[in-house]
Each structure stands twice: as C-alpha cells, then as structure tokens.
C-alpha cells in the first residue's frame, strides 16, 4: 500500500527556516514525480512545488525561498523552507504524481502543520 | 495563471439523489495533440487529505464507485454523484494540470439534506 509520511512540521518565527520530510513506501520511489501542496481555510489548496526527474517547479510565492529535493536512496522527499512568512502558515501535503504525469496527484500524505508566528 | 472557479460553494442533497458540481477554467485545459483535458477531481472528507477521484476530466481512478462521473471539455467541467451516499459528504476540488502553476478550484462542500 502506498504510504507518504510527512514530518518536520513546527512552530517557527518569521524569517526562520524549516525542513519538511516525506518518507515514501509501497511503490517504486524513483519512478514518480512528487509535489508539495499546502492548505489553509482561507486560501484552500495551493500548489507549492513539484520535482519531476531533474526538473523542479515552484509557485511564485515561494520561489527563491523554498527548495524541493529528493533522496532516492532513502525514498524520501524534502522541502527546505527559508525566509518563512506568516502567510506560509498551512498544512503541507506531500503528494505523489501519477503514472502519466507528475502533475496529477494520485496519492496524498496526511499533512504536516507549519505555523509561522511572531 | 489559469483560474479555476467552482460552483456552487456548497450544496445539500438528499440521500440517493443526484449532486452536480461545476468547474470552469479561465482558459482551455484541452491539449489538442493528445485529445486530453488536464482536469482532475479530488474528494476531501473531513479530517482527511484529498483523494483522487477522476483524472483527464472523465476517467475514474481505480476503486472509485461508478456513481461518480466526470464530463466536460475545454473550459467547462462537471462532477456528478448520481446517487448520494452518506460517505460522500466531503469537499470536492477540481485542479488543472495543463500548465504551471498548478491551480485548484475553491472547493464545493457536499452535505446531506
């Protein structure tokens, strides 16, 4: 069974940094692309970043501050977040891309809460 | 950016009745060369992450009950639940994967009347 387990969510001050991790199991990790999607009651679901092969993509709101990466030897996806802002507060979901395209999410993790507050 | 607009924001339907949700994109998400609409529907039950229901506008994911169907092309899409069950209470989202940034609709909350 596919499992995506996020960790690293925490309370941080504005300007701080945080690393989210997503441990994957139940499928061949190297065969798929992955995304991070965040959710707030105010903005709903918001795409953050996707990694597909050697290509990475970012939302304008996080470009230059967040970095998506993966360690295929550990079956783990990462999101390094720097220069955090109050508006980055959200539940962050690790999401697995589909067979045909990384841009269609066919499995979501349970989410990690990131709170940015003074 | 492609803006995804869903309607209604919420709807209450009796058990066994039909629920219809609309999604409109600000530009076409049909890739003509592949004849595919890059439109996906997700279901998010209370306290759970989203779950894939339908991709390519009308292809149900494995294990999704056939009471769920998707239709439409270009910029206008519909998700239909033909006979609402109690476990269908959720928020439903559409998403376009035609271009970066990926964008989601605001969600439609389905409740039991």
Helix/strand/coil percent split, chain B, to 5: 5, 50, 45
Say yes or no for a CB contact (<8 Å) between B104 and A60.
Answer: no
Q: Is B88 left (phi over 0), alpha (psi -120 to 50) or beta?
A: alpha
Query: What is the C-alpha separation between A64 and B46, in angstroms, rounded?
Result: 33
CB contact under 8 A, B40 and A111: no
Could you report the per-residue pLDDT of B86-106, keeping only the tens digit for each?
Answer: 999 999 999 999 999 999 999
In this predicted structure, the answer to whether residue B12 has a pLDDT above a threshold of 90 is yes
DSSP state string for B34-47: TTEE-EEEEEE-TT
| Confidence bin at A27 (pLDDT 50/70/90) | very high
User: Would you state the structure tokens that stand for residue B16, as one six-digit string?
Assistant: 């066994």
DSSP designation for B75: T
Specify whether the CB–CB gap between A97 and A38 falls below 8 A.
Answer: no
Predicted local confidence at residue A99, as pLDDT: 87
Q: By the CB < 8 Å criterion, does B102 face chain A?
A: yes
Taking the C-alpha atoms of residue B5 and residue A112, their distance in angstroms, rounded to an integer, is 27
Give residue-wise pLDDT tens across range A53-73: 889 999 999 999 999 999 999
Point out the residue among B50, B97, B107 whose CB comes nearest to the CB of A101.
B97
Kindly state the average pLDDT of the residues B39-62: 97
Closest by Cβ to A103, choosing from B50, B61, B97: B97
Q: Which of A105, A106, A111 to mutate to test the interface with B (most CBs of B within 10 A)?
A: A105
Task: Write down the pLDDT at residue B22.
Answer: 98
Which pair of structure tokens corresponds to residue A117?
A: 């507050």
Distances (CA, A) of B55 to A27, A60, B52, B71, B77: 20, 25, 8, 10, 12
How many Å apart are CA B15 and CA A80, to the nearest integer?
Answer: 45
Mean of the per-residue pLDDT values of chain B: 97
Q: Which of B85, B13, B68, B52 has the alpha carbon at shortest distance from A100? A: B52
Given a cut of 90, whether residue B50 has pLDDT beyond it is yes
């Amino acid at each position: 069974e596919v499992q995506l387990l996020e960790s690293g969510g925490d309370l941080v001050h504005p300007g701080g940094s945080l690393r989210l991790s997503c441990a994957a199991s139940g499928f061949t990790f190297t065969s798929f692309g992955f995304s991070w999607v965040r959710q707030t009651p105010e903005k709903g679901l918001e795409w953050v970043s996707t990694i597909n092969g050697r290509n990475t993509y970012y939302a304008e709101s996080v470009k230059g501050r967040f970095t998506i990466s993966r360690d295929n030897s550990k079956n783990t996806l990462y999101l390094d977040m720097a220069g955090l802002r109050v508006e980055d507060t959200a539940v962050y979901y690790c999401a697995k891309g589909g067979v045909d395209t990384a841009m269609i999410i066919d499995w979501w993790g349970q989410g990690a809460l990131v709170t940015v507050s003074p | 950016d492609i803006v995804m607009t869903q309607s209604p924001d919420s709807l209450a339907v009796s058990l066994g009745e039909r629920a219809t949700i609309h999604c409109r994109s600000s530009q076409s998400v049909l890739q003509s060369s592949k004849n595919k609409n890059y439109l996906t529907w997700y279901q998010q039950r209370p306290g759970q992450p989203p779950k894939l229901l339908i991709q390519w506008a009308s292809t149900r994911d494995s294990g999704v009950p056939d009471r769920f169907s998707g239709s439409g092309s270009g910029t206008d899409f519909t998700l239909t639940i033909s006979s609402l069950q109690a476990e269908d209470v959720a928020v439903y989202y559409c998403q376009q994967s035609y271009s970066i940034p990926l964008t989601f609709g605001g969600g439609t909350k389905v409740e039991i009347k």
